[in-house]
Amino acid sequence: MILKLLLHGCNGRMGQVISASCDKDPEMEIVAGVDINTAFSNPYRYPVYKTLDECSDSFDVIIDFSHPFAFDALLKYATCSRKAIVIATTGLNKDQIATLDSLSEHVPVFFSANMSLGINTLIALTLKACDILDANFDIEILDSHHSGKLDSPSGTALMIAENINLHKDNPYQFVFDRHTVRAPREKNEIGIHSVRGGSIVGDHTVYFAGKEEVIEITHRAQSRNVFAEGAITAAKFLYGKEPGLYSMKNLVGS
Ligand X SMILES: NC(=O)c1ccc[n+]([C@@H]2O[C@H](COP(=O)([O-])OP(=O)(O)OC[C@H]3O[C@@H](n4cnc5c(N)ncnc54)[C@H](O)[C@@H]3O)[C@@H](O)[C@H]2O)c1
Please indicate whether residue 149 is annotated as part of the active site: yes
According to CB under 6 A, which one of 19, 21, 66, 205 is a site residue for ligand X? 66
State how beta strands 202-210 and 213-221 pair: antiparallel
Residue selected from 69, 176, 198, 214 as contacting ligand X according to rule CB under 6 A = 69
Known catalytic residue: 94? Answer: no
3-state secondary structure the chain: CCEEEEEECCCCHHHHHHHHHHHCCCCEEEEEEECCCCCCCCCCCCCEECCHHHCCCCCCEEEECCCHHHHHHHHHHHHHHCCEEEECCCCCCHHHHHHHHHHCCCCEEEECCCCCHHHHHHHHHHHHHHHHCCCCCEEEEEEEECCCCCCCCCHHHHHHHHHHHHHCCCCCEEECCCCCCCCCCCCCEEEEEEEECCCCCEEEEEEEEECCEEEEEEEEECCCHHHHHHHHHHHHHHCCCCCEEECHHHHHCC
Minimum CB separation of residue 131 from ligand X in Å reads 26
Give the list of residues 6+ apart from residue 75 with CB closer than 8 angstroms, or none. 96, 99, 103
Residues in contact with ligand X, counted by CB under 6 A, come to a total of 25
One of 4, 29, 36, 168 touching ligand X (CB under 6 A): 36
Q: Is 91 in the site for ligand X (CB under 6 A)?
A: yes
Contact stretch for ligand X (CB under 6 A) within 11-19, 135-143, 178-186, 238-246 = 11-19
- What are the angstrom distances between the C-alpha of 174 and each of 53, 91, 169, 208? 39, 16, 15, 15
Quick one: which segment of 6-14, 166-174, 178-186, 210-218 binds ligand X (CB under 6 A)?
6-14
Report the residue number, 16 or 205, with the smaller CB distance to ligand X. Answer: 16
Q: Which is nearer to ligand X, 51 or 58 (CB)?
A: 51
Which is the catalytic residue, given 83, 145, 204, 219? 145
Catalytic residue, from 67, 83, 149, 204: name it. Answer: 149
Nearest distance from C-beta of residue 57 to ligand X, angstroms: 16
Residue nearer to ligand X on the CB measure, 36 or 130: 36
Q: Does 11 bind ligand X (CB under 6 A)?
A: yes
String marking each residue 170-199 x if it binds ligand X according to CB under 6 A: ------------------------------
In one-letter notation, the amino acid at residue 208 is F
Q: Is 248 in the site for ligand X (CB under 6 A)?
A: no
Q: Does 67 bind ligand X (CB under 6 A)?
A: yes
Residues catalogued as catalytic: 145, 149
Site of interaction with ligand X (CB under 6 A): 9, 11-15, 34-37, 65-67, 69-70, 88-91, 112-115, 151, 227
